[in-house]
Amino acid sequence: MPLSNSQYDTIIREYNARQIQNQHAKDDRIKEAYGKDQRLKMIDDAISSCSLGQARKLLGGDVTALASLRLMLSDYRKQRLAILDELGYSEQYFEPSYACSDCKDTGYIGNDRCHCFRQRAIDLVYTQSNIRSILNNENFDAFSYDYYSSTEVNPSTGLTSLETIQNAVKACRSFILEFDSSFSNLFFYGDTGVGKTFLSNCVAKELLDTGHSVIYFTAFQLFDILKRNTFQKNADADMLAAHQNIFDCDLLILDDLGTELPNSFTVSQLFLCLNERILRRKSTIISTNLPIHQLAELYSERTFSRISSHYMMLKLFGDDIRIQKKLRQP
Protein backbone atom coordinates (compact mmCIF):
# COMPACT_ATOMS: atom_id res chain seq x y z
CA MET A 1 0.00 0.00 0.00
CA PRO A 2 1.93 3.05 -1.23
CA LEU A 3 2.62 5.94 1.13
CA SER A 4 4.54 9.17 0.78
CA ASN A 5 7.67 9.50 2.91
CA SER A 6 5.95 11.94 5.26
CA GLN A 7 2.99 9.61 5.75
CA TYR A 8 5.27 6.66 6.42
CA ASP A 9 7.30 8.68 8.93
CA THR A 10 4.10 9.77 10.69
CA ILE A 11 2.97 6.17 11.17
CA ILE A 12 6.41 4.97 12.32
CA ARG A 13 6.53 7.76 14.91
CA GLU A 14 3.16 6.60 16.22
CA TYR A 15 4.46 3.05 16.59
CA ASN A 16 7.62 4.28 18.33
CA ALA A 17 5.53 6.33 20.76
CA ARG A 18 3.31 3.33 21.43
CA GLN A 19 6.33 1.13 22.20
CA ILE A 20 7.63 3.73 24.66
CA GLN A 21 4.21 3.88 26.34
CA ASN A 22 4.13 0.08 26.54
CA GLN A 23 7.54 0.00 28.20
CA HIS A 24 6.56 2.68 30.72
CA ALA A 25 3.38 0.77 31.57
CA LYS A 26 5.38 -2.43 32.01
CA ASP A 27 7.89 -0.65 34.25
CA ASP A 28 5.05 0.72 36.40
CA ARG A 29 3.57 -2.78 36.82
CA ILE A 30 6.94 -4.20 37.78
CA LYS A 31 7.51 -1.40 40.30
CA GLU A 32 4.09 -2.04 41.80
CA ALA A 33 4.74 -5.78 42.11
CA TYR A 34 8.21 -5.24 43.62
CA GLY A 35 6.66 -2.93 46.18
CA LYS A 36 4.29 -5.66 47.28
CA ASP A 37 6.88 -8.45 47.46
CA GLN A 38 10.63 -7.83 47.31
CA ARG A 39 11.23 -11.52 46.51
CA LEU A 40 10.20 -10.77 42.92
CA LYS A 41 13.03 -8.29 42.51
CA MET A 42 15.48 -10.72 44.10
CA ILE A 43 14.42 -13.42 41.64
CA ASP A 44 14.73 -11.11 38.62
CA ASP A 45 18.18 -9.97 39.81
CA ALA A 46 19.20 -13.59 40.27
CA ILE A 47 17.99 -14.47 36.75
CA SER A 48 20.10 -11.67 35.28
CA SER A 49 23.13 -12.64 37.35
CA CYS A 50 23.03 -16.37 36.58
CA SER A 51 22.36 -15.74 32.88
CA LEU A 52 25.46 -13.57 32.68
CA GLY A 53 27.53 -16.04 34.70
CA GLN A 54 26.54 -19.06 32.67
CA ALA A 55 27.13 -17.17 29.43
CA ARG A 56 30.70 -16.52 30.53
CA LYS A 57 31.17 -20.21 31.32
CA LEU A 58 29.78 -21.17 27.93
CA LEU A 59 32.20 -18.83 26.20
CA GLY A 60 34.97 -20.28 28.32
CA GLY A 61 34.28 -23.76 26.93
CA ASP A 62 31.98 -25.21 29.61
CA VAL A 63 29.58 -27.30 27.50
CA THR A 64 27.31 -27.95 30.49
CA ALA A 65 26.64 -24.25 31.10
CA LEU A 66 23.60 -24.00 28.83
CA ALA A 67 21.83 -27.00 30.36
CA SER A 68 22.57 -25.69 33.86
CA LEU A 69 21.18 -22.27 32.91
CA ARG A 70 17.95 -23.79 31.66
CA LEU A 71 17.45 -25.68 34.95
CA MET A 72 18.11 -22.56 37.05
CA LEU A 73 15.81 -20.38 34.93
CA SER A 74 13.05 -22.97 35.13
CA ASP A 75 13.31 -23.01 38.93
CA TYR A 76 13.33 -19.21 39.19
CA ARG A 77 10.29 -18.94 36.93
CA LYS A 78 8.35 -21.41 39.06
CA GLN A 79 9.16 -19.35 42.15
CA ARG A 80 8.09 -16.15 40.40
CA LEU A 81 4.79 -17.65 39.22
CA ALA A 82 4.02 -18.85 42.74
CA ILE A 83 4.56 -15.35 44.15
CA LEU A 84 2.53 -13.70 41.39
CA ASP A 85 -0.29 -16.12 42.13
CA GLU A 86 -0.14 -15.20 45.83
CA LEU A 87 -0.43 -11.53 44.88
CA GLY A 88 -3.37 -12.19 42.55
CA TYR A 89 -1.49 -11.38 39.34
CA SER A 90 -1.64 -13.37 36.14
CA GLU A 91 1.33 -15.17 34.60
CA GLN A 92 1.51 -12.44 31.93
CA TYR A 93 1.55 -9.56 34.42
CA PHE A 94 5.12 -8.56 33.58
CA GLU A 95 4.52 -8.85 29.83
CA PRO A 96 3.83 -5.67 27.80
CA SER A 97 0.25 -4.89 26.79
CA TYR A 98 0.12 -4.49 23.02
CA ALA A 99 -2.50 -2.71 20.96
CA CYS A 100 -1.68 -5.28 18.27
CA SER A 101 -0.43 -8.59 19.61
CA ASP A 102 0.44 -9.84 16.12
CA CYS A 103 3.25 -7.34 15.47
CA LYS A 104 3.78 -6.34 19.11
CA ASP A 105 3.24 -2.71 18.13
CA THR A 106 6.16 -2.61 15.72
CA GLY A 107 4.00 -2.38 12.58
CA TYR A 108 5.82 -5.30 11.00
CA ILE A 109 5.66 -9.09 11.06
CA GLY A 110 9.04 -10.12 9.74
CA ASN A 111 9.64 -7.99 6.67
CA ASP A 112 5.93 -7.50 5.94
CA ARG A 113 3.72 -4.70 7.14
CA CYS A 114 1.21 -5.84 9.73
CA HIS A 115 -2.52 -5.57 9.09
CA CYS A 116 -2.69 -2.81 11.72
CA PHE A 117 -0.10 -0.82 9.74
CA ARG A 118 -2.06 -1.27 6.51
CA GLN A 119 -5.28 -0.05 8.11
CA ARG A 120 -3.50 2.89 9.74
CA ALA A 121 -2.19 3.83 6.29
CA ILE A 122 -5.74 3.80 4.96
CA ASP A 123 -7.00 5.90 7.86
CA LEU A 124 -4.21 8.40 7.26
CA VAL A 125 -4.59 8.60 3.48
CA TYR A 126 -8.36 9.02 3.58
CA THR A 127 -8.74 10.71 6.98
CA GLN A 128 -11.30 8.07 7.86
CA SER A 129 -10.74 8.02 11.61
CA ASN A 130 -14.30 9.34 12.04
CA ILE A 131 -15.58 6.02 10.76
CA ARG A 132 -14.26 4.35 13.90
CA SER A 133 -16.59 6.43 16.06
CA ILE A 134 -19.54 5.62 13.78
CA LEU A 135 -18.84 1.91 14.06
CA ASN A 136 -18.97 2.17 17.84
CA ASN A 137 -22.70 2.81 17.41
CA GLU A 138 -23.45 0.97 14.18
CA ASN A 139 -22.53 -2.68 14.64
CA PHE A 140 -24.21 -6.03 15.14
CA ASP A 141 -24.41 -5.53 18.92
CA ALA A 142 -26.46 -2.37 18.35
CA PHE A 143 -28.55 -3.81 15.52
CA SER A 144 -32.29 -4.08 16.26
CA TYR A 145 -35.05 -5.94 14.45
CA ASP A 146 -37.69 -3.82 16.19
CA TYR A 147 -38.02 -1.47 13.22
CA TYR A 148 -38.97 -4.20 10.74
CA SER A 149 -42.57 -5.32 10.28
CA SER A 150 -43.60 -8.93 10.74
CA THR A 151 -46.80 -8.33 8.73
CA GLU A 152 -45.71 -6.16 5.78
CA VAL A 153 -44.97 -8.58 2.92
CA ASN A 154 -42.95 -8.14 -0.25
CA PRO A 155 -45.22 -9.61 -2.97
CA SER A 156 -42.27 -10.59 -5.17
CA THR A 157 -40.69 -12.79 -2.48
CA GLY A 158 -43.55 -13.53 -0.10
CA LEU A 159 -41.31 -12.54 2.80
CA THR A 160 -42.08 -9.98 5.47
CA SER A 161 -39.84 -7.01 6.14
CA LEU A 162 -38.59 -8.78 9.28
CA GLU A 163 -37.86 -12.05 7.49
CA THR A 164 -36.06 -10.14 4.75
CA ILE A 165 -33.71 -8.34 7.13
CA GLN A 166 -33.10 -11.55 9.09
CA ASN A 167 -31.97 -13.23 5.88
CA ALA A 168 -29.78 -10.22 5.03
CA VAL A 169 -28.07 -10.32 8.44
CA LYS A 170 -27.50 -14.05 8.01
CA ALA A 171 -25.93 -13.39 4.60
CA CYS A 172 -23.68 -10.69 6.10
CA ARG A 173 -22.48 -12.99 8.85
CA SER A 174 -21.69 -15.70 6.29
CA PHE A 175 -19.85 -13.11 4.21
CA ILE A 176 -17.70 -12.24 7.25
CA LEU A 177 -17.14 -15.86 8.30
CA GLU A 178 -16.02 -16.92 4.81
CA PHE A 179 -14.20 -13.69 3.95
CA ASP A 180 -10.71 -15.21 3.92
CA SER A 181 -11.67 -18.44 2.20
CA SER A 182 -14.28 -17.45 -0.38
CA PHE A 183 -14.47 -14.40 -2.65
CA SER A 184 -17.86 -12.67 -2.62
CA ASN A 185 -19.50 -9.23 -2.77
CA LEU A 186 -22.69 -7.71 -1.39
CA PHE A 187 -25.18 -5.36 -3.06
CA PHE A 188 -27.81 -3.72 -0.83
CA TYR A 189 -30.69 -1.91 -2.47
CA GLY A 190 -34.04 -0.54 -1.34
CA ASP A 191 -35.72 2.64 -0.19
CA THR A 192 -34.10 5.27 2.01
CA GLY A 193 -33.72 4.44 5.69
CA VAL A 194 -34.18 0.66 5.63
CA GLY A 195 -30.74 -0.19 7.05
CA LYS A 196 -28.43 -0.56 4.05
CA THR A 197 -25.64 1.67 5.38
CA PHE A 198 -26.07 0.29 8.90
CA LEU A 199 -25.55 -3.27 7.65
CA SER A 200 -22.50 -2.19 5.65
CA ASN A 201 -21.05 -0.66 8.81
CA CYS A 202 -21.76 -3.85 10.77
CA VAL A 203 -19.68 -5.82 8.29
CA ALA A 204 -16.93 -3.18 8.29
CA LYS A 205 -16.67 -3.30 12.09
CA GLU A 206 -16.30 -7.09 12.18
CA LEU A 207 -13.62 -7.13 9.47
CA LEU A 208 -11.67 -4.23 10.95
CA ASP A 209 -11.67 -6.00 14.30
CA THR A 210 -10.16 -9.08 12.66
CA GLY A 211 -7.32 -7.15 11.05
CA HIS A 212 -8.65 -6.56 7.54
CA SER A 213 -8.21 -3.30 5.63
CA VAL A 214 -11.49 -1.51 4.93
CA ILE A 215 -12.15 1.69 2.99
CA TYR A 216 -15.53 3.44 3.12
CA PHE A 217 -16.63 5.96 0.51
CA THR A 218 -19.83 7.60 -0.52
CA ALA A 219 -20.20 7.46 -4.30
CA PHE A 220 -19.37 11.16 -4.49
CA GLN A 221 -16.13 10.70 -2.55
CA LEU A 222 -14.99 7.77 -4.65
CA PHE A 223 -15.60 9.44 -7.99
CA ASP A 224 -13.94 12.62 -6.76
CA ILE A 225 -10.71 10.74 -6.03
CA LEU A 226 -10.89 8.90 -9.35
CA LYS A 227 -11.50 12.18 -11.17
CA ARG A 228 -8.61 14.00 -9.54
CA ASN A 229 -6.25 11.12 -10.21
CA THR A 230 -7.33 11.01 -13.87
CA PHE A 231 -7.35 14.70 -14.72
CA GLN A 232 -4.90 16.26 -12.28
CA LYS A 233 -1.47 16.53 -13.89
CA ASN A 234 1.57 15.53 -11.85
CA ALA A 235 -0.46 13.90 -9.08
CA ASP A 236 1.48 13.85 -5.82
CA ALA A 237 2.35 10.73 -3.83
CA ASP A 238 -0.65 11.12 -1.55
CA MET A 239 -3.05 11.15 -4.50
CA LEU A 240 -1.38 8.14 -6.13
CA ALA A 241 -1.56 6.26 -2.83
CA ALA A 242 -5.24 7.09 -2.39
CA HIS A 243 -5.99 5.83 -5.87
CA GLN A 244 -3.99 2.61 -5.52
CA ASN A 245 -5.52 1.72 -2.16
CA ILE A 246 -8.99 1.67 -3.72
CA PHE A 247 -7.96 -1.43 -5.65
CA ASP A 248 -5.77 -3.03 -2.98
CA CYS A 249 -7.83 -2.85 0.23
CA ASP A 250 -9.47 -6.03 1.50
CA LEU A 251 -12.95 -4.49 1.48
CA LEU A 252 -14.22 -1.43 -0.36
CA ILE A 253 -17.59 -0.04 0.74
CA LEU A 254 -19.33 2.15 -1.82
CA ASP A 255 -22.31 3.82 -0.17
CA ASP A 256 -25.22 5.67 -1.78
CA LEU A 257 -24.44 4.82 -5.39
CA GLY A 258 -26.58 7.07 -7.56
CA THR A 259 -26.43 10.15 -5.33
CA GLU A 260 -23.52 11.45 -7.42
CA LEU A 261 -24.24 12.95 -10.83
CA PRO A 262 -23.88 10.02 -13.26
CA ASN A 263 -22.08 10.88 -16.50
CA SER A 264 -19.84 9.17 -19.02
CA PHE A 265 -16.84 9.49 -16.67
CA THR A 266 -18.52 8.02 -13.58
CA VAL A 267 -20.08 5.23 -15.65
CA SER A 268 -16.72 4.16 -17.11
CA GLN A 269 -14.86 4.54 -13.82
CA LEU A 270 -17.42 2.50 -11.91
CA PHE A 271 -17.04 -0.36 -14.35
CA LEU A 272 -13.23 -0.17 -14.23
CA CYS A 273 -13.18 -0.04 -10.43
CA LEU A 274 -15.58 -2.95 -9.91
CA ASN A 275 -14.08 -5.03 -12.68
CA GLU A 276 -10.52 -4.54 -11.40
CA ARG A 277 -11.50 -5.53 -7.88
CA ILE A 278 -13.25 -8.63 -9.21
CA LEU A 279 -10.12 -9.58 -11.14
CA ARG A 280 -8.02 -9.09 -8.00
CA ARG A 281 -10.63 -11.00 -5.95
CA LYS A 282 -11.02 -8.07 -3.57
CA SER A 283 -14.47 -7.83 -2.01
CA THR A 284 -16.82 -4.85 -2.37
CA ILE A 285 -20.08 -3.80 -0.75
CA ILE A 286 -22.38 -1.44 -2.65
CA SER A 287 -25.54 0.19 -1.35
CA THR A 288 -28.03 2.22 -3.36
CA ASN A 289 -31.56 3.60 -3.26
CA LEU A 290 -31.88 2.95 -7.00
CA PRO A 291 -34.22 0.23 -8.26
CA ILE A 292 -32.49 -2.50 -10.23
CA HIS A 293 -33.83 -1.48 -13.63
CA GLN A 294 -32.53 2.06 -13.14
CA LEU A 295 -29.09 0.77 -12.22
CA ALA A 296 -28.69 -0.77 -15.65
CA GLU A 297 -30.02 2.36 -17.34
CA LEU A 298 -27.59 4.69 -15.54
CA TYR A 299 -24.42 2.62 -15.40
CA SER A 300 -24.60 0.46 -18.55
CA GLU A 301 -25.49 -3.16 -19.15
CA ARG A 302 -21.92 -4.38 -18.74
CA THR A 303 -21.64 -2.84 -15.26
CA PHE A 304 -24.99 -4.32 -14.30
CA SER A 305 -23.79 -7.66 -15.67
CA ARG A 306 -20.71 -7.58 -13.42
CA ILE A 307 -22.84 -6.76 -10.38
CA SER A 308 -25.57 -9.31 -11.05
CA SER A 309 -23.07 -12.12 -11.70
CA HIS A 310 -20.54 -11.40 -8.94
CA TYR A 311 -22.62 -9.85 -6.12
CA MET A 312 -25.21 -11.21 -3.75
CA MET A 313 -28.21 -8.94 -4.36
CA LEU A 314 -30.09 -8.13 -1.16
CA LYS A 315 -33.20 -5.98 -1.35
CA LEU A 316 -34.35 -4.46 1.95
CA PHE A 317 -37.75 -2.92 2.43
CA GLY A 318 -39.85 -1.41 5.18
CA ASP A 319 -40.60 1.94 6.79
CA ASP A 320 -37.86 4.56 7.13
CA ILE A 321 -36.05 3.71 10.39
CA ARG A 322 -34.90 7.30 10.93
CA ILE A 323 -38.50 8.51 10.89
CA GLN A 324 -39.57 5.66 13.17
CA LYS A 325 -36.90 6.62 15.70
CA LYS A 326 -38.04 10.24 15.71
CA LEU A 327 -41.66 9.22 16.18
CA ARG A 328 -40.72 7.00 19.12
CA GLN A 329 -38.83 9.73 20.94
CA PRO A 330 -40.66 10.93 24.09
Q: Does position 261 have pLDDT exceeding 60, yes or no?
A: yes
Mean residue pLDDT of the chain comes to 86
The pLDDT, as a whole number, for residue 17 is 92
The pLDDT confidence band at residue 238, using thresholds 50, 70 and 90, is low
- Tell me which of 90 and 169 has the higher pLDDT: 169
- Per-residue confidence band for 129, with pLDDT thresholds at 50, 70 and 90: very low
* CA separation for the pair 147, 325 (Å, rounded): 9
Q: Label each residue of the chain as H, E or C.
A: CCCCHHHHHHHHHHHHHHHHHHHHHHHHHHHHHHHHCHHHHHHHHHHHHHHHHHHHHHHCCCCCHHHHHHHHHHHHHHHHHHHHHHHCCCCCCCCCCCCCCCCCCCCEECCEECHHHHHHHHHHHHCCHHHHHHHCCCCHHHCCCCCCCCCCEECCCCEEHHHHHHHHHHHHHHHHHCCCCCCCCEEEEECCCCCHHHHHHHHHHHHHHCCCCEEEEEHHHHHHHHHHHHHCCCCCHHHHHHHHHHHHCCEEEEEEECCCCCCHHHHHHHHHHHHHHHHCCCEEEEEECCCHHHHHHHHCHHHHHHHHHHCEEEEECCCCHHHHHHHHCC
* Spatial separation of the C-alpha atoms in residues 79 and 35, rounded to whole Å: 17
φ, ψ for residue 255, nearest 5 deg: -100, 145
Neighbours of 277 (CB within 10 A): 22
Q: What pLDDT score was predicted for residue 193?
A: 92
Would you tell me the crossing angle of helices 161-177 and 196-209 to the nearest 10 degrees? 20
88 has a pLDDT exceeding 90: no
Which own/partner contact pairs does 223-227 have at CB distance under 8 Å and 24+ positions apart? 223/260, 223/265, 223/266, 223/269, 223/270, 226/269, 226/273, 227/265, 227/269
How many residues are recorded in the chain? 330
Can you tell me the mean pLDDT for 97-122? 88
Angle between helical axes of 38-59 and 5-36 (0-180°, round to 10): 110
Alpha carbon distance 268, 307 (integer Å): 14
Domain ranges of the chain: 5-109, 127-328
Higher pLDDT, 195 or 92: 195
The half-sphere exposure of 23 on its side-chain side, counting CA atoms within 13 A, is 7
pLDDT of residue 237: 59
The lowest-confidence range among 100-104, 114-118, 207-211, 299-303 is: 207-211
Q: 127-328: which CATH topology?
A: Rossmann fold (3.40.50)
Residue 3: predicted pLDDT: 65
Q: How confident is the model at residue 150 (pLDDT cuts 50, 70, 90)?
A: very high
Residue 242 has pLDDT above 80, yes or no: no
The partner residues of 284 in beta bridges, in order of sequence, read 252
Mean pLDDT of 30-39: 87
Position 159 scores a pLDDT of 94
Q: Which pLDDT belongs to residue 235?
A: 57
Higher-confidence residue of 326 and 321: namely: 321
Region of 127 (left: φ > 0; alpha: ψ -120 to 50; beta: rest) is left
